[in-house]
Amino acid sequence: MPLDEEGIQVSQILYTEEYRSVMGLLRALQTNEEYSDRALFITQEAIRLNAAHYTVWQYRYHNIINLKKDINKELDWVEEIAIENTKNYQIWNYRQLLLQAQENPDPKREFPLIEVMLDEDSKNYHVWSHRKWLVKFFNKFDEELTFVDQFIEKDVYNNSAWSHRYFAIFGDAQINKKTITNDIFEKELEYTKDKISIAPQNVSSWNYLIALFEVTGNNLSQLEEFARSYANVLSSDADVEKIKSVPALEALVKIYVKSNPELATKGYDLLATKYDTIRKNYWEYKKKSISI
Phi, psi of 11, rounded to the nearest 5 degrees: -135, 90
Closest to 199 (Cα-Cα) out of 248, 252, 271, 161: 248
Q: Is 87 a catalytic residue?
A: yes
Residue 140, burial from CB neighbour count under 10 angstroms (0-12, 13-18, 19+):
middle
Under DSSP, is residue 140 helix (H, G, I), strand (E, B) or coil? coil
Sign of CA dihedral 231, 160, 166, 157: negative
Q: Report the distance separating Cα 57 and Cα 81, nearest Å.
A: 12
Phi, psi of 229, rounded to the nearest 5 degrees: -70, -15
Closest to 253 (Cα-Cα) out of 231, 274, 273, 277: 231
Element (H, E) at 119: helix 111-120
Residue 10 has a CB neighbour count (10 Å cut-off) of 4
Dihedral (C-alpha) 273, 274, 278, 283: value to the nearest 10 degrees?
-50
Name, in order, each residue with C-beta under 8 angstroms of 257's C-beta and a sequence gap of 6 or more.
264, 290
The active-site residue out of 87, 154, 178, 187 is 87
Q: Report the distance separating Cα 149 and Cα 153, nearest Å.
A: 6
| DSSP classification of residue 107 | G
Q: Cite the active site residues.
A: 87
